[in-house]
Amino acid sequence: MNNLLFLALLTLLRGSRVDAAISRSLQAYEKIRGRECFRSLNGMMQSMKDLAAKYPHLMTINTIGESYIKKYGTSGINITKYDVTYELPPGGYDILAFNITASNSTRQSPDKGKMLIASRVHAREWATAELNARFIEALVEGYESDADITSILERNEIHAILYVNPDGTYIAEKYPRSMWRKNLNPVGCDGGSGGGVDINRNFDFMWGDTRGSSADPCKLTYHGPSANSEPETQALVDYAMKLFPEGQRKKKPEKQKDEAFGEEISGFYADIHAFGRELYYPWGFDDIKSPDDEAFQALGRKLHSFNSYRLWSGAQPHYRYPVTGVASDYMYANMGVASMLYEIGSRFHQPCAEFEDEVVPKNLPSLIYAAKIAHKPFSLIKGPDVFELDARHDNGELRVSATASDGKMVNAIQISSEEFKNSSDYPTGSQVIKAVYVYLDLHPDDWQEGDIRWDMDAIDGNWDTNEESVRLTVSTEDFPSGKHIVHLQAIDSLGYAGPVSSVFVNFVQESAPAPGTTSPSFHQAAKGCLKRLNNEQVDLCLANEHTSNIAINCCSGSQQNGDLTCSRTGCKQTMSYDEAKAHCESMIMRLCTTAELEARVCCGKGCYFNKLPTWTSDMCEEI
C-alpha cells in the first residue's frame, strides 16, 4: 500500500516514542495468560487510567453504564463447563468510555466531529480491546508530533469503549477454553452452561428477526428477551445518543430504512470484532444495498486499501449471512452515522506474531483515516485523497509537493481482491482533479473569503485526469520563524473535497539584528562543562555556517520546573546552526541555552564536549 498515511503511521508507531510508550505499557501491566501482547481486563483498565493521568489535556474517562452483574448481582448465575464451576466477576464492572480530544483547541465540543469505537462486545475476541487501546495510545502519543493526529484531535472527539461486555470478558480471560461470547444474564439455558445474551443481536433495529439471530437462549446468537434489554446494550446506545446529532435521526428507522441520509451526516461508529479479515457495513439483515450504498462502498473500499479485508455487505460478492439486531446496522439506521465493523485477524485468540505484524500495522492507519473523515464521512469519502505530501522551508520559501488521486484508494480493491478484478473503476473515483489547495496554520474547514490559501500547480500543466502530481512554491517573508502546520485538500470535478492531509514545517527566517546584537548570522556557543575555563569567561561567537567540528546537544523541559534534560545527539560534526536546530526539533527537543549549558546540564554526556564548542539558542551579544 503506497499511501502517505500508512507510511506516516508506520513511522510513528515503529522506532518512535509511540512504540516505546506502548512497549512500556505491555511490560508494566498484567497480560492475558499466554498472550504477552494483550493486556488483561484489569491490566488494561489500569493502563488506561494511568494514560489519562499522564495526558489530562487529551484524555478523560466517563462511566457510561454497568455490566449485568454490577446492576443485578449474581443471583441465578451458575456456569459449569468441562466439570468446572466458573468463578464469577466479584461485583461486576462499570462500563467506561474514554474521550480523546485536544481540550485546549479553539473548537468546542459541540462543533467537533465524533467518532465512537467499541470493542469486546463479544468476550472471547481478545485482540479487539488491545487494538482499540493501541489506537488510543497512537492518538495521545502522536499529538503535537504528528500533524495529521494533531489536526484530528483539535477538531474531533474520539470516544472509545474498550469493554462493552466486561463480565463476559472476565470469564473469557479466566477460562479460555470456555470461548465465552455473550454477557452473563442467566436467561435459563439448562443451568446456564450456554446462557447469556449476545449483545450484538440485542440492538433495536431489526431485532428479533430470526434470519440473523436466535430466539433460543442456548444459542450463541440469542437476541435476548427484548430489544435493548441488556445493560451493556443500553450503555452503548445511551452514550451514542449523547454523542451523535439528534437532528439527523429518523423517527421510525425500520419503516424508513429505504430513505437515504444524504451527504451531510456527521459521525462515525467503528465496531471491532474478531475474526475473518473482513469489513462489514450496512445492510447486514438482508442481502440488499443500503440507500447510502455509494458512500458506504467508497468507505469500505478505501479502508480496504489499508488492510485488504474483504467487504461483507448486502449486494456484495462476499455477503456471508444475515445478521439482525447488530450495532453497526443500528448506528446507521437509528443514529444516522457512518458505521463499519472490523473482523480482525484469523482467530478469536490471535497469536502475538500475527497481531503485531499484521493486525496492528494494517488497521491502525485505517482507524486514523476513519477519524480524519468522522465529521462529514459520506461527503469526504467521495473526494480525492492526498499522497506523498512533502513540505519544507528553504531560503525563505515554502515548497510543497504531493499527489492527489480520486481513484487510487477506492479502486485498489481491483488489484488486491479476486472478487473485483474484472470490475470497472468505482464511480466516486473517476472524477478529474480540479484543484489542490494549501493552507498555512488554518484548517480548510475554517477558511473564509479573504483568508490566505494557495492553489497548487499541476506539474504537467493540465488538470485533466483523476490523479495529478502537484507543487507549490511561495515566499514566507510575512510569516514568523518557528513551527507551522500545512494542510492540503484536493477537490474533484464534481466539487467533492477530500480528506485533509497535514504536515508540520519549521520556518527559519532571516531577520534584522535585534538591538544590542551583532548580525543574526552569528550565535553564541559554549565550550566545556564549566562556566569559566581557567577563571576566564568562555565566550564563543560562531558563524551559523560553521564548517569545523562542533558538538550537538538538545534540551527539553526547564530548570524552573525541575524537568530539564539534555540529550547528546552528535559530536565532531560540521553541522550549521540551522541544521542543528532542526535536528533537535525533529526529536521534539530544542537547542539548549547558554545558561543551561553553563549550569552543567549536559555534563557527563561523553563525546568531546569539553573540547568542542556546542551550539546554543542564544544570539551573540555585542562585544
Active site residue 278: no
How much is the pLDDT for 571? 58
The residues, ordered by sequence, that sit 6+ positions from 112 with a Cβ below 8 Å of its Cβ are 101, 155, 156, 157, 375
pLDDT at 521 exceeding the cut of 80: no
Identify whether the C-beta of residue 96 lies closer than 8 Å to the C-beta of residue 61: yes
Provide the pLDDT for residue 7: 46
Q: What mean pLDDT comes out for the span 80-103?
A: 95
Please say whether the beta carbons of 271 and 329 come within 8 A: no
Task: State residue 25's pLDDT score.
Answer: 55
User: What do you get for the CA distance between the two ends of the chain, in Å?
Assistant: 57
Q: What is the pLDDT of residues 323-365, one digit of tens each?
A: 999 999 999 999 999 999 999 999 999 999 999 999 999 999 9
Specify the pTM. Answer: 0.80
Fold for 385-507, please state it: Immunoglobulin-like (2.60.40)
The answer to whether residue 516 scores a pLDDT higher than 60 is: no
Residue 451 has pLDDT above 60, yes or no: yes
Give the C-alpha separation, 69 to 66, whole Å.
8
- Rounded to an integer, the average pLDDT of 539-554 is 72
Specify which residues 39 forms β-bridges with: 31
pLDDT of residue 536: 43
pLDDT at 519: 44
Q: What is d(CA 600, CA 595) in angstroms, rounded to the nearest whole number?
A: 9
> Going by C-beta distance under 8 Å and a sequence separation of 6 or more, which residues neighbour residue 64?
95, 96, 97, 161, 235, 236, 238, 239
pLDDT digits (tens, 9 = 90+) for 388-447: 999 999 989 999 999 999 999 998 887 777 777 767 778 888 999 999 999 999 999 999
Q: Rounded to an integer, what distance in angstroms lies between the CA atom of residue 322 and that of residue 211?
A: 6
Does 600 score more than 50 pLDDT? yes
Residue from 96, 7, 112, 49 nearest 368 by CA: 7
Mean pLDDT of 362-381: 98
Please state, for a pLDDT cut of 70, what percent of the chain lies above it.
87
Query: Hey, where are the domains in the chain?
Result: 4-380, 385-507, 522-619
Q: Is the pLDDT of residue 158 over 70?
A: yes
Contact 168, 123 (CB under 8 A): yes
Strands (E), 80-141: 80-81, 84-85, 94-100, 113-118
Does pLDDT of 383 surpass 50?
A: yes
What pLDDT band is residue 143 in, cutting at 50, 70 and 90?
very high
pLDDT one-digit tens code per residue, 273-286: 999 999 999 999 99
> Is the pLDDT confidence value at 544 over 80?
no
Average pLDDT over residues 595-608: 65
Beta bridge partners of 400: 391, 472
Residue 540 has pLDDT above 90, yes or no: no
Catalytic residue among 130, 343, 468, 596: 343
Rounded Cα gap, residues 128 and 119, in angstroms: 5
Residue 2 pLDDT exceeds 90: no
pLDDT attached to residue 584: 84
What contacts 172, CB < 8 A, 6 or more positions away?
123, 124, 126, 178, 179, 180, 181
Q: Are 115 and 380 in contact (CB under 8 A)?
A: no
The answer to whether residues 277 and 345 touch, using CB atoms and an 8 Å cutoff, is yes
Q: Assess whether pLDDT exceeds 90 at residue 566.
A: no
CATH code of 4-380, in short, is 3.40.630.10
Q: How confident is the model at residue 190 (pLDDT cuts 50, 70, 90)?
A: low
Q: How far apart are CA 354 and CA 479, in angstroms?
A: 47
- pLDDT category at 14 given cuts 50, 70, 90 is very low
Angle between helices 127-142 and 4-13 (to 10 degrees): 90
* Cis bond before residue 275 (omega within 30° of 0): yes
Q: Is the pLDDT of residue 474 over 90?
A: yes
**DSSP codes, 513-526:** PPTTB--TTEEEEE
How many angstroms separate the CA atoms of 218 and 224, rounded? Answer: 11
pLDDT band at 603 (very low <50, low <70, confident <90, very high): low
The chain-wide mean pLDDT, for the chain, equals 88
Which band of pLDDT confidence, cut at 50, 70 and 90, is reported for residue 576? confident
Q: What is the pLDDT of residue 528?
A: 54
3-state secondary structure 366-390: HHHHHHHCCCCHHHHCCCCEEEEEE
Residue 48 binned pLDDT confidence (cut-offs 50, 70, 90)? very high
